[in-house]
Amino acid sequence: MVNKKNILLGVSGGIAAYKACALTSKLTQAGANVKVMMTDSATKFVSPLTFQALSRNPVYIDTFDEKDPQKIAHIDLADWAEIALIAPATANIIGKIANGIADDMLSTTLLATRADVYIAPAMNVHMYAHPAVINNMKQLEQWGYNFIEPGDGYLACGYVGKGRLEEPESIIKAVENHQQSAHKILTGKKVLISAGPTQEQIDPVRFFTNRSSGKMGFALAETAADYGAEVTLVAGPVALQISNHLINRINVTTAEEMYDAMHSHFPSSDIVIKAAAVADYRPKQVYDQKMKKQAGDWNIEMERTKDILQSLGEIKTDQYLVGFAAETTNPLAYGMKKLQKKKLDAVAINNVSVEGAGFGGDTNIVTYINKNQETDEITLASKREVAEKIWRLIDRDIKDESQ
């Protein structure tokens, strides 16, 4: 559950900081991409160079040390992280987060991140039992922060009791177990997804279509099923197979057939994603026999197909409706226009002219914008990884709406 995850490891100032070195090493060996952020006090116990060598990434300490003028470092890291792990977490850093204090890079970043946050306390046994510390931890738990309780044993201060930082292996196991249990974020949800192109017939041997492979839509369907959803996939003519037999696949060919299938299942769905690249136009006249080659040009008159996404937006009640916007020029402007015009809850925008984000490939680059115009950038990743991130953003937004 930590393999390929972006993990921000916050190290605060306690003698247990030495254990964070082993933690960094083991997370990296497990396939995680680890970036370490230290408080100034932590650097008194362990050199930043140690963490840099173990993580093979820069170590962050100073809020005002902006290495890239194009980015605000603590915001960029807050957005980058999928998991934030504070180990060791002193009484001081716990108190800062619980009271909204942001006076160094670590506390500032923790207030800005929307990642899952895990806190592994380490402190003197009496500090751990102090009412102020207890109240701060209770407050953070109410807000959804996750605690990895310290162990009992001999402490550096000479006391024996609770307050010793849990061992690195146990910390990783606790994170993995929680991630596993939280993995079923779509349990009980009915999800409807469209994928692939449509084909609009000219004659028995010719048709209009587009370059969509259906890979993004299929990745969304399979990850939704893995996350516990009951999935219906309306698929245009593609060569892809689904690996999860629980997914209800409905094969269609034309835009009209996709319109009918989506509307048929829409009323009973909780979340709907239109990832298909549906034809905007179709031949006005369809020939029963193959049109023979003739001298001169052949003009085909086209007529508009029904706008599936807009029609769903007009009739939606409590469904969460997401559209895809595959653009080549001004992608954000056109994506925002689609979001508002079609009454969507969110839009996933990708510039298909950019390398790694085009039709047919195995990777994608997406800008996700919800109806509150909150924007999340999903950088180049496999379509499976992009799908996972999109579902987590949708889950986040639905939870935010319910609060």
Please write the tens of the pLDDT for every residue from 281-315. Answer: 999 999 999 999 888 898 999 999 999 999 999 99
342 is in an annotated binding site: yes
**What's the pLDDT at 283?**
96
Indicate the range of 51-60, 180-189, 202-211 predicted with least confidence.
Answer: 180-189
pLDDT score of 185: 85
Query: Is 67 annotated as a binding-site member?
Result: no
Give the model's confidence band at 99: pLDDT under 50 very low, under 70 low, under 90 confident, else very high. Answer: very high
| pTM tops 0.95 | no
Is 44 annotated among the ligand-binding residues?
A: no
Mean pLDDT of the chain: 92
Mean pLDDT value of segment 1-21: 92
Residues with active-site annotation: 157
User: Binding site annotation covers 288?
Assistant: no
Q: Which domains are present in the chain? A: 6-182 (3.40.50.1950), 190-402 (3.40.50.10300)
Q: Give the separation between CA 194 and CA 257, rounded to whole angstroms.
A: 12
pLDDT in tens, 106-144: 999 999 998 889 999 999 888 999 999 999 999 998 888
* Residue pLDDT, tens place only, 39-97: 999 999 999 999 999 999 999 999 888 777 778 888 989 999 989 999 999 999 999 99
Band of pLDDT at residue 150, cut at 50, 70 and 90: confident
Q: What is the pLDDT of residue 159?
A: 59
Question: For 14-28, what is each residue's pLDDT tens digit?
Answer: 999 999 999 999 999
CA separation for the pair 155, 399 (Å, rounded): 40
Please say if the pLDDT value at position 238 is more than 90.
Answer: yes
Residue 234 burial by Cβ neighbours in a 10 Å radius (0-12, 13-18, 19+): buried
- What is the model's pLDDT at position 355? 86
> How far is residue 269's CA from residue 345's CA, in Å, rounded to a whole number?
14
- Could you give the C-alpha distances from 181 to 161, 184, 249, 394, 400, in angstroms and in order? 30, 7, 27, 18, 20
Q: What is the pLDDT of residue 15?
A: 92
pLDDT of residue 160: 61
The yes-or-no verdict on residue 372 having pLDDT over 80 is yes
Over the stretch 324-344, which tens digit does the pLDDT of each residue have? 998 888 999 999 999 999 999
Residue 26 is labelled as binding a ligand: no
In the prediction, which pLDDT does 294 show?
Answer: 86
Strands of 33-110, DSSP E: 33-38, 59-60, 83-89
Q: Over 80: is that where the pLDDT of 162 sits?
A: no
Which position has the higher pLDDT, 182 or 23? Answer: 23
What is the three-class DSSP state of 403?
coil
